[in-house]
């Protein structure tokens, strides 16, 4: 874990395990496959690093611009800068050093127009390594993931198989134990892939894999930590299409009968459907994605069978200026990529977040509608290019949102109001004033503003709406699937 968790060390080990790597400052440094099992000597490790501005410039000139200056201990967009010439190196090298103080630094060639692809691994202490399908995390802003999905659909199955085999080979070369994610850069033009890094932990997007592989990864990781071999875990056996078995009988304190199998020869089952994940952040897309902070008056989200989410704040809470901007993660499943995207869009539209913060929800909905994303023609620099061109999310005028929301609420509650009203009449009672099948008042919260609309039902599908001194008459038609058309 120590060796592969370090970006420089893992790149050296990847080279020794015959996993393709991009040209980098350690391309000339060679270690034997056997030495991967031990600590990499300091003198060899330092040979792959750069220490001064002059060394960075020299390395970039050998590798070729554009290049990345990367801190080995960095992550989440920190300690990484893209440079195009010697002058940018002089300006940005110090920034990388300052963001991750004390970290070793290395240089890596930029793979333009590439995709960020991942393979989820789970390894036990007996040398068994399972590759649990794949993820695509190419939608990034400043090297920080925004949208994740799985399985990989941009590369052919045989290439995905090679990614999995290379990831397994890398983990086996150091006798890795536990959960890990092997990350690659993939060229859509040449179909070539290159090792990027290995994350020696469960990442926050691991529910994507859980959904398509039907494996409880945290539970499986605990089982591995208890010394249980992978072939003894029922969900892993099912994943590889093996006969029933595995597990533990708590009453008899014995393992259930299960035969070992060779993970190098076993074929896993096809991914179940598709899963898309969206990170919810307290950033203002209209102000260069500047982080915002403040009180959260309302946060409303309802999970469904095919959509699930978690948030680190709740109604009445808040986000302070020193916290990470991500405060939520939404996961949507579908039988196909298109259905998973559609389910995500519908759920994001239903999230209610009201308070002093701004969020990326509307902007992300617009990304999910973008033709480049739906046609799978994006790359790791796509979102940054879009932001640079100041492409903003298209929004309806606020008054259309108010009218549409008021009508939706009125239609949704109309049947219940009529039923209550008739119920009083059948009992020979006069209905209370607040129960009326004709008049109603609707309150809406839209982007932090509260709107109160007085409504009068003038006939089937006919309403008159009044707010402040403005009034409008609207005709609606309920179409198939109870969809309302104005």
Catalytic-role residue among 201, 238, 374, 386: 201
Q: Is residue 173 located within the same domain as residue 293? A: no
pLDDT range class, residue 245, cuts 50, 70, 90? low
Q: Is residue 184 located within the same domain as residue 291? A: no
pLDDT range class, residue 105, cuts 50, 70, 90? very high
pLDDT in tens, 161-195: 999 999 999 999 989 999 999 999 999 889 999 99
pLDDT range class, residue 485, cuts 50, 70, 90? very low
Task: Tell me: pLDDT of 48 over 60.
Answer: yes
Q: What is the pLDDT of residue 480?
A: 45
- Mean pLDDT for all residues in the chain: 89
Q: Is residue 24 located within the same domain as residue 128? A: no
Q: What is the pLDDT of residue 218?
A: 97
For the residues 446-464, what does the mean pLDDT come to? 83
261 within domain boundaries: no
Q: For the ranges 25-39, 43-57, 168-182, 390-404, which has the lowest average pLDDT?
A: 390-404
The total number of structural domains in the chain stands at 4
Q: What is the pLDDT of residue 431?
A: 83
Task: Tell me the CA end-to-end span of the chain in Å, nearest whole number.
Answer: 59
pLDDT in tens, 253-271: 455 667 899 999 999 999 9
Q: What is the pLDDT of residue 448?
A: 65
Contact present, 477 and 484 (Cβ < 8 Å): yes
126 within domain boundaries: yes
Q: Which long-range contacts (CB under 8 A, 24 or more apart) does 41-49 make?
A: 44/12, 45/8, 45/9, 45/12, 45/104, 46/104, 48/8, 48/11, 48/12, 48/24, 48/106, 49/8, 49/25, 49/104, 49/105, 49/106
* Residue that terminates a domain, selected from 355, 388, 421: 388
Q: What is the pLDDT of residue 483?
A: 44
Q: Is residue 296 located within the same domain as residue 383? A: yes
pTM of the model: 0.76
pLDDT in tens, 188-211: 889 999 999 999 999 999 999 999
387: Cα separation from own chain's centroid: 19
For the residues 304-324, what does the mean pLDDT come to? 93
C-alpha distance from residue 41 to each of 5, 6, 10, 172, 253 (Å): 16, 14, 14, 20, 45
For the residues 112-119, what does the mean pLDDT come to? 94
Q: Is residue 118 located within the same domain as residue 105? A: no
Q: What is the pLDDT of residue 348?
A: 95
336 within domain boundaries: yes
Q: Is residue 326 located within the same domain as residue 441? A: no
Q: Is residue 131 located within the same domain as residue 249? A: yes
Q: Is residue 220 located within the same domain as residue 295? A: no
Domain of 90? Answer: 7-109
Separation of alpha carbons 178 and 233, rounded Å: 14
164 within domain boundaries: yes
177 within domain boundaries: yes
pLDDT in tens, 402-453: 888 888 887 777 777 788 888 888 888 888 877 887 888 888 877 667 889 9
* Residue that terminates a domain, selected from 109, 144, 171: 109
pLDDT range class, residue 394, cuts 50, 70, 90? low
CATH number, domain containing residue 320: 3.30.470.20
* Residue that terminates a domain, selected from 50, 82, 109: 109
Q: What is the pLDDT of residue 246?
A: 57
Task: Tell me: pLDDT of 481 over 60.
Answer: no
Active site residue 238: no
Separation of alpha carbons 31 and 3, rounded Å: 13
pLDDT in tens, 141-153: 988 999 999 999 9
């Amino acid at each position: 874990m120590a060796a592969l968790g370090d970006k420089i060390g893992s790149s050296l080990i990847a080279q020794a395990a015959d996993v393709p790597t991009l040209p980098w400052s350690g391309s000339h440094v060679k270690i034997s496959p056997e030495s991967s099992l031990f600590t990499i000597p300091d003198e060899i490790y330092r040979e792959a690093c750069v220490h001064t501005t002059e060394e960075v410039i020299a390395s970039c000139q050998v590798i070729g611009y554009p290049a990345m200056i990367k801190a080995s201990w960095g992550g989440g967009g920190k300690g990484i800068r893209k440079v195009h010439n010697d002058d940018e190196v002089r300006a940005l090298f110090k920034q990388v050093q300052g963001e991750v103080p004390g970290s070793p630094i290395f240089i890596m060639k930029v793979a333009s127009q590439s995709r960020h692809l991942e393979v989820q691994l789970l390894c036990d202490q007996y040398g068994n390594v399972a590759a649990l399908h794949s993820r695509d995390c190419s939608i990034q802003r400043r090297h920080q993931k925004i949208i994740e999905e799985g399985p990989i659909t941009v590369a052919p199955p045989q290439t995905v198989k090679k990614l999995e085999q290379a990831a397994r080979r890398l983990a086996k070369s150091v006798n890795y134990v536990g959960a890990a994610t092997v990350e690659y850069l993939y060229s859509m033009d040449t179909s070539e892939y290159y090792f990027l890094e290995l994350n020696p932990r469960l990442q926050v997007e691991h529910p994507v894999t859980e959904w398509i592989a039907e494996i409880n990864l945290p539970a499986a990781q605990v089982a591995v930590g208890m010394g249980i071999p992978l072939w003894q875990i029922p969900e892993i056996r099912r994943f590889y299409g093996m006969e029933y078995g595995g597990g533990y009988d708590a009453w008899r304190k014995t393992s259930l009968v299960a035969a070992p199998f060779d993970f190098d020869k076993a074929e896993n089952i096809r991914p179940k459907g598709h899963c898309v994940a969206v990170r919810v952040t307290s950033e203002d897309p209209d102000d260069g994605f500047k982080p915002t902070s403040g009180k959260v008056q309302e946060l409303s989200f309802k999970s469904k069978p095919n959509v699930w989410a978690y948030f680190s704040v709740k109604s009445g809470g808040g986000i302070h200026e020193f916290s990470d901007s991500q405060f939520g993660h939404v996961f949507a499943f579908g039988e196909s990529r298109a259905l998973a995207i559609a389910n995500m869009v519908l759920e994001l539209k239903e999230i209610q977040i009201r308070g002093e913060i701004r969020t990326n929800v509307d902007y992300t909905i617009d990304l999910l509608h973008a033709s480049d994303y739906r046609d799978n023609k994006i790359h790791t620099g796509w979102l940054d290019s879009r932001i640079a061109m100041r492409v903003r999310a298209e929004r309806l005028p606020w008054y259309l949102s108010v009218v549409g929301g008021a009508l939706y609420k009125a239609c949704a509650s109309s049947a219940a109001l009529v039923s209550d009203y008739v119920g009083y009449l059948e009992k020979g009672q006069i209905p209370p004033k607040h129960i009326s099948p004709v008049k109603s008042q609707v309150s809406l919260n839209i982007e932090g503003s509260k709107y109160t609309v007085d409504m009068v039902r003038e006939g089937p599908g006919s309403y008159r709406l009044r707010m402040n001194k403005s009034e409008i008459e609207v005709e609606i038609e309920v179409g198939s699937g109870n969809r309302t058309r104005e």
